[in-house]
Amino acid sequence: MALKKAAKKRVVKKAVVKSGSTSATVKKRTAKKTAVASAPVKKQSAKKTASVTSAASSSQVAVAEKELSVTLSKLAKAHEREIALCGKEVVKLKTQLERALARQSVLKEKKAAAVQSQTEKPGQATKTRVVRANAALQAGNAVIKNIRDALQRARSAQSEAQKAQKKFVALEKVQAGFERDWAKAASKKRKVVRRVGKTAASKAVAAATETATEEAKAE
């Protein structure tokens, strides 16, 4: 009986060991299959991520180029507005200067009349009249000086604005020429000339043809 029990225990142990090794083998195979199955998915997801990243970067470049184009257009309009404003300021100051000069002529005439009146009829009233005419003329001269200074500054600003616009237009022309040259260079296709050498077969055919021709001539 004892021997039978021992034999049964051994059989049970072997069965347990076999079942354990079998389950371990199954687990390993399952893990390998899972790894193999998941590997392509990871590669595909990596490819998708790379494509999305490249698309995003290219879209960012396109957006930046569009913004640059819009900015350049705004800059061109800003140059035009600046020149127009400077031109209006110059015209306005010229008009003011003309009026101030006309008023100066009137004030000079008034002063001359006051001086003549004082000479003919000296007195406090004529003297006061000369003083007032002289003060008005000096004030008019100061106004003219201020207007002329402002006009000089406005003309300088107008000149600078015109120079800046000319520079911008020149840069636009250079860029446009570069774009045209770049497009032409990109559209040109390089022509590759290949030299075809005579093969052994073609040489043999040529030799046979020459031989046949010579034999025909001999007959």
pLDDT value of position 79: 94
CA distances from 171 to 32, 35, 166, 179, 194 (A): 64, 60, 9, 12, 43
Residue 190 domain flag? no
For 118-155, how does the pLDDT look when each residue is reduced to its tens digit (9 = 90+)?
Answer: 888 888 888 898 899 999 999 999 999 999 999 999 99
pLDDT band for position 17 (50/70/90)?
very low
Residue 218 within any structural domain of the chain: no
What's the alpha-carbon Rg for the chain, to the nearest Å? 51
Q: Is the pTM of this model over 0.75?
A: no
Q: How many domains does the chain have?
A: 1
Q: Is residue 151 included in any domain, yes or no? A: yes
Is 179 inside any structural domain?
no
78 found inside a domain: yes
pLDDT digits (tens, 9 = 90+) for 178-205: 989 988 888 886 554 555 555 565 666 6
The answer to whether position 196 is within a domain reads no
- Tens digits of per-residue pLDDT, 93-119? 999 999 999 999 999 998 998 888 888
Measured CA to CA, the distance from residue 198 to residue 219 in angstroms comes to 30
CATH number at residue 122: 1.10.287
Q: pLDDT tens-digit profile of 39-51?
A: 554 555 555 555 5
pLDDT value at 91 more than 80: yes
Domain span at 65:
14-170
Could you tell me the two tokens for 142? Answer: 């100061």
Q: Is residue 128 part of a domain?
A: yes
Asked if 164 and 79 touch (Cβ cutoff 8 Å), the reply is: yes
Task: Please report whether residue 189 resides in a domain.
Answer: no
d(CA 124, CA 111): 16
